[in-house]
Amino acid sequence: MTGKHIVVIGAGYAGLSAAAGIGRGQDRVTLIAPEQRFHHRVRQHEIAAGHRVARPDVAHVLRGRRVTHLATRVTELDLAARKVATEDGGRLAYDTLVYALGSRTAWGTVPGAAEHAYSAERAEELRRRIAGAPAPGTVAVVGGGATGIELATELAEAYPAWQVRLVAAGRVGGWLSERGRAHVLKVLGRLGARVDEERRVVAVTAEGLETDGGPIPADVVVWAASLEAHPLAAEAGLAVAEDGRALVDGHLRSLSHPEVHVVGDAAAVEVPGIGRLRMACATAMPQGRYLAKLLTGRTAEPFAFRYALQCISLGRGEALVQLIHPDDSVRPRVVTGALGRLVKAGIVKGLPLSLR
Ligand SMILES: Cc1cc2nc3c(=O)[nH]c(=O)nc-3n(C[C@H](O)[C@H](O)[C@H](O)COP(=O)(O)OP(=O)(O)OC[C@H]3O[C@@H](n4cnc5c(N)ncnc54)[C@H](O)[C@@H]3O)c2cc1C
């Protein structure tokens, strides 16, 4: 042992893969995250639809690795003293901190959204609300990005008596290729979901949505319009970008505090030829794995990354695999139908296995 203490905070795709990899080395590693079972976040829409999602124990992922898991929440970071405070009253000193607190739903400035809407984080409550309703009604999903599309299709398929409306300020799947977007709209239509595009939500109330094109009544509202980085980085004084993500160099080291590495949705990672990576499991996990190699001396190179695919599930029987260039720009080709579903399901089910 070198006597160095590495503290990893957050056990999502980035934090857990980093901790598992660093735990193969000689340093003492402590992982702080509240969950005993891995939070397989890219499957939250499936939970909302009442499907069972397998989640490995964090202890199982870390077996045989030199990592102590503290199942608690970080409440404060003292960057000057190099200490982490936890909600159970603990204070832990570190030599190196791996910050991997990820992101959460951004409610924006829309009045009533946080109060009246559900989000992917509250998938189980959303399921209970819909399944337990005395009669079917309307569920409005706000957000035309991948999360909104996945939620809308999954809910429309699982609860066919409900009217699902997907409401977007711009075009649903507007960044996809023409074929990709057309496929998404076709599947939404086939599942009976209604699409409201170019409708900016200005308020959420107990009666539904107020939009710039008039009201959209809804019994249940699901907010999937955007994500924001966990606020602790900015609160603690780490240098952050305008979107709250921590600024890092090519080795994923904080620009303001080099003893802190930041990975996953919490980091504003710039890659030459691509620019700033988007918040995604597809970018978070490679960062966690890279950091493990860096901190165990298996590489000294800067982080390198190329995008491969964009996969969006469209209910249980369908998916869209959008072929993309390494810089994330879309190609015209897509894979759909049973093959698309097979690719998407294979990737998602395989993710927990690749955490180690
Ligand atoms: C419904 C849905 C579908 C998605 N589908 C895809 C997809 O198909 N492909 C894709 O690439 N991306 C997808 N994403 C995005 C993806 O889930 C995120 O980009 C990814 O989870 C980021 O990983 P992360 O490890 O950075 O953070 P997270 O997964 O957010 O993990 C954060 C970790 O920090 C912990 N934490 C938070 N606060 C504290 C605290 N105070 N103290 C200690 N620990 C704390 C959490 O418990 C968790 O362990 C989807 C997201 C959603 C919501």
Closest residue to atom 5 of ligand 1, CA basis: 42
Domain shared by 242 and 214, yes or no: no
Residue 33 tokens, joined: 């995250």
pLDDT digits (tens, 9 = 90+) for 201-252: 999 999 999 999 999 999 999 999 999 999 999 999 999 999 999 999 999 9
Separation CA 88–CA 145 (nearest Å): 37
Domain shared by 221 and 135, yes or no: yes
- Asked whether residue 207 is assigned to any structural domain, the reply reads yes
- Asked whether residue 300 is assigned to any structural domain, the reply reads no
- Asked whether residue 303 is assigned to any structural domain, the reply reads no
Domain shared by 201 and 277, yes or no: no
Domain shared by 189 and 256, yes or no: no
Burial (0-12, 13-18, 19+ Cβ within 10 Å), 157: buried
Give the CATH number of the domain where residue 140 resides: 3.50.50.100
- Asked whether residue 218 is assigned to any structural domain, the reply reads yes
Q: What is the mean pLDDT of residues 300-306?
A: 98
Å from CA of 15 to ligand 1 middle: 10
Domain shared by 75 and 212, yes or no: no
**What is the structure's pLDDT at 335?**
98
**What is the structure's pLDDT at 3?**
75
**What number does the ligand 1 atom closest to the CA of 267 have?**
26
Q: What is the mean pLDDT of residues 261-289?
A: 97
Sign of CA dihedral 307, 310, 311, 312: positive
Pocket of ligand 1 (CB under 6 A): 9-15, 32-35, 39, 41-42, 44-45, 73-74, 100-103, 120, 147, 150, 230, 264-266, 279-282, 284, 311
Domain boundary among 270, 295, 320: 295
pLDDT exceeds cutoff 60 at 1: no
Work out the percent of the chain whose per-residue pLDDT is above 90: 98
Closest residue to atom 46 of ligand 1, CA basis: 10
Nearest to 320 by CA among 303, 304, 333: 333
- Asked whether residue 302 is assigned to any structural domain, the reply reads no
Q: Give the chain's domain count.
A: 2
**What number does the ligand 1 atom closest to the CA of 280 have?**
19
pLDDT digits (tens, 9 = 90+) for 37-46: 999 999 999 9
Query: Domain containing 288: what range?
Result: 5-105+227-295
SS3 call for 180 = helix
Domain shared by 214 and 245, yes or no: no
**What number does the ligand 1 atom closest to the CA of 288 have?**
25
User: DSSP string spanning 255-290?
Assistant: SS-TTEEE-GGGEE-EETTTEEPPSSHHHHHHHHHH
**What is the structure's pLDDT at 16?**
98
Nearest to 229 by CA among 47, 127, 102: 102
Residue 213 tokens, joined: 């094109």
Residue 187 tokens, joined: 């599947």
Å from CA of 245 to ligand 1 middle: 14
Domain shared by 25 and 76, yes or no: yes
Separation CA 325–CA 307 (nearest Å): 7
Domain shared by 291 and 165, yes or no: no
- Asked whether residue 62 is assigned to any structural domain, the reply reads yes
Å from CA of 288 to ligand 1 middle: 13
Amino acid at 328: D
**What is the structure's pLDDT at 2?**
59
Å from CA of 41 to ligand 1 middle: 6
Provide the residue count of the chain. Answer: 356
Domain shared by 246 and 209, yes or no: no
Vertex 152, ends 227 and 110: CA angle to 5°? 45
**What is the structure's pLDDT at 260?**
98
pLDDT digits (tens, 9 = 90+) for 67-119: 999 999 999 999 999 999 999 999 999 999 999 999 999 998 899 999 999 99
Amino acid at 83: K
Domain shared by 127 and 206, yes or no: yes
Residue 17 tokens, joined: 């893969």
Work out the percent of the chain whose per-residue pLDDT is above 70: 99
Mutate to test the pocket of ligand 1, among 39, 40, 41, 175 (most ligand atoms within 8 A of CB): 41
**Nearby residues of 102 by Cβ (< 8 Å), 6 or more positions away:** 10, 12, 14, 15, 41, 229, 230, 264, 265, 266, 284
pLDDT digits (tens, 9 = 90+) for 5-19: 999 999 999 999 999
**What number does the ligand 1 atom closest to the CA of 105 have?**
53
pLDDT digits (tens, 9 = 90+) for 327-344: 999 999 999 999 999 999
Domain shared by 234 and 220, yes or no: no
- Asked whether residue 90 is assigned to any structural domain, the reply reads yes
Å from CA of 263 to ligand 1 middle: 11
Å from CA of 136 to ligand 1 middle: 31
Confidence of residue 311 (pLDDT cuts 50, 70, 90): very high
Amino acid at 247: L
Domain shared by 234 and 169, yes or no: no
- Asked whether residue 244 is assigned to any structural domain, the reply reads yes
Å from CA of 161 to ligand 1 middle: 31
